[in-house]
Amino acid sequence: MSHRIDKVEHLIKEEISLIFLHKLSDLHLGFVTITNVRLSPDLKLAKIYLSVLEKEKRSLVLDKIEDKKGYIRSELAHRVRIKFIPELKFFIDDTLDYVEKIEGLIKKIHEDDDNKTNAGTTEP
């Protein structure tokens, strides 16, 4: 069953990406990427994770997408042949924010180490 869920998740991700690209371009959402799709075991609920390039527009983009959720689901039904089209729930994927934060902390640690190393050595 897990293999089927993976296949359906991948298919939904591809099709929703195409819907965003071709059918929702008039919403002026900016650069939006579908990063992940997670289906419930009964295939009735799909959690769609989005990455929005402009951080300050995330809530606005999510609101516009929520307004078009029915349209997106309808378009998906025309493109995908499965018994039930799952209910769609959209979420902002903030994984990249977390990665940036960790990279910043690592960089700061390395800078602090370099400063301590340089401060400890004296030149003749």
Surface-to-core class of residue 56, CB atoms within 10 Å of its CB (0-12 exposed, 13-18 middle, 19+ buried): exposed
Give the confidence band of 83 by pLDDT, cuts at 50, 70, 90.
Answer: confident
Of residues 94 and 20, more confidently modeled: 20
* Domain range annotation of the chain: 2-93, 95-124
Judged against a pLDDT cut of 90, whether residue 30 lies above it is answered with no
pLDDT at 19 over 60: yes
- Asked if residues 50 and 61 have their Cβ atoms less than 8 Å apart, the reply is yes
SS (H, E, C) 45-90: EEEEEEEECCHHHHHHHHHHHHHCHHHHHHHHHHHCCCCCCCEEEE
- pLDDT recorded at residue 74: 95
CA distance 16 to 11: 9
Span 31-75, pLDDT tens digits: 889 999 999 999 999 999 999 888 888 899 999 999 999 999 999
pLDDT computed for residue 14 by the predictor: 96
Output the six-digit token pair for 62: 């999510």
Question: Which superfamily, per CATH, for 2-93?
Answer: K homology (KH) domain (3.30.300.20)
Alpha-carbon distance of 29 to 25, in angstroms, equals 7
Whether residue 120 has pLDDT greater than 90: no
Nearest one of 76, 93, 104 to 9, comparing CA atoms: 76
- Judged against a pLDDT cut of 70, whether residue 123 lies above it is answered with no
